[in-house]
Structure 1
Amino acid sequence: MEKSNAEIKDDILQFLVNNISAWTVDTLYTKLQNPTPTVAHFEKIVKEMISDGGQYFNYTEGEELYLRQNDFTQEFLNNGGFTKASKIAAANTAATVIELQEEKEAKRVTREKDREQLTIVKWQKNTFWIVFVLGLVGGVYSLYKISQAIFIPSNNVTEEQLNPKIDSIQNRLERLEKDLKQVDRLKSIDSAQTTK
């Protein structure tokens, strides 16, 4: 099974702790029994070590790159070395990704709510003016009718004015009924005399 870069970095540090002198990259590659497919890949891992944790070992750059342990190398290995640091970085990256996803979702929800609020506000604005104008027209019409009832005399006939007229119409009807009865009696008398 192939080792991870972090495990190879820890193997290099462990080799430096166990072997006190300074070592070139090529020698370390050979002593660790070719841990990567190529020396170039191994050099890349060593350069990552220098950039990520160069304080945990000494290195000298010149024609060749030399590595040697320092006072912090063993302590760093005891605390988990590059393997633990890699896991922590991965966890932080995962947490950051989750945080970014949650932030993105929160922004999406906020945009959606804002869009809904904007739609409601537009609807309320348009509806408000229609209802306001209708209410205003209704109020003005009501005031007109009220003022008309108060200030303009009506042409309506009161009951007192109607009573004498109704009495006179009833008297005429009664006279007409009497006249009709008299005409009927006269007709019946006339028809009785002609049949004799």
Structure 2
Amino acid sequence: MSKSDAIIKDNILEFLVNDPYHAFTVENLWENLGQPCKSLLHFKILTDEMQNNGNQYFLIIENPPFISFAKNDFTQDFLDDGGFTAIQAKHASNEQILLKARNSEAIDRQNQFVINNWKAKMAPWQYYTFWPLLIIATLSTGFSIYKAFNTDDQKIIELRLEMDNIKETLQDQSKNISNFNKTVDLLIQNDSI
């Protein structure tokens, strides 16, 4: 509702207050007010808005096919409080407050986006510490994986070496025993002669 529409609606109510003994149809109001708006259709739209938004401030007399308007006990009080012009001003003020709130929310969202982007970026010192740590961690992981898969082979090799050592030791001992046996046999044969 524009301010000019609110003024026209207040003029309708003032006209009804000034002539309290009659009820007026939309067409009669339009003519008696001197055709205050662009067309009769626009005037009908305004009276429909009045019926929907402020019907407690005047009487609506329905006599099909006509609808008539007249003043009631609240019409003058409503006009004294500012009428439809005050409602329009309050509505415009609320729209401005809502618009400011939306703008501040949008600014807050934009600021939060900037803050989040700033937090997501790495500082130069983080670059210098991140890459070496990543390389060390990758190498350690690779070495651990290598050790995990090669542990069994290493154990087998170690066991084979130990077995070879034991085998050599046993062979040496076996040779020593056979040499000892030969020596004992020779001694026994020499004693028997």
Q: TM-score range by the shorter chain?
A: 0.5 to 0.7
Name the residue aligned to 1:35: 36
Distance 1:114 1:10 in 2: 52
Matched, 1:59 2:76: no
Name the residue aligned to 1:152: none
Partner SS for 1:4: helix
Partner SS for 2:60: strand
| TM-score, with length taken from structure 1 | 0.60
| TM-score, with length taken from structure 2 | 0.61
Name the residue aligned to 1:16: 16
**Which structure 2 residues correspond to residues 42-191 of structure 1 after superposition, within 5 A?**
42-61=43-62, 62-120=64-122, 124=126, 127-128=129-130, 130-131=132-133
Aligned length in residues: 133
Distance 1:126 1:44 in 2: 71
Name the residue aligned to 2:185: none
User: CA RMSD for the aligned pairs?
Assistant: 2.7
Partner SS for 1:33: coil
Partner SS for 2:70: strand
Distance 2:30 2:14 in 1: 13
Distance 1:109 1:90 in 2: 28
Structure 1: 4+ residue segments shifted above 2 A: 123-135
Distance 1:85 1:126 in 2: 64
Partner SS for 1:68: strand
Give the unaligned 5+ runs of structure 2: 140-193
- C-alpha distance after superposition, 1:127-186 (max 9, x if no partner): 446348669x9xxxxxxxxxxxxxxxxxxxxxxxxxxxxxxxxxxxxxxxxxxxxxxxxx
Q: CA deviation at 1:42?
A: 0.7
Higher Cα Rg: structure 1 or 2?
A: 1
- C-alpha distance after superposition, 1:67-114 (max 9, x if no partner): 111221111100000111111111111111111111101101101111
Q: CA deviation at 1:60?
A: 3.1
Give the unaligned 5+ runs of structure 1: 138-196
Query: Residue 132 and residue 40 in structure 1: after superposition, are their counterparts in 2 closer, same or farther (change >3 A)?
Result: closer
Amino acid at match of 1:13: L
Amino acid at match of 1:26: E
Q: CA deviation at 1:52?
A: 2.1
- C-alpha distance after superposition, 1:3-54 (max 9, x if no partner): 8111100000011111122110000011111111211111111111122212
Amino acid at match of 1:35: P
Name the residue aligned to 1:5: 5
Distance 1:131 1:49 in 2: 74
Distance 1:126 1:75 in 2: 77
Q: CA deviation at 1:65?
A: 1.7
Greater CA drift, 53-62 or 19-28: 53-62
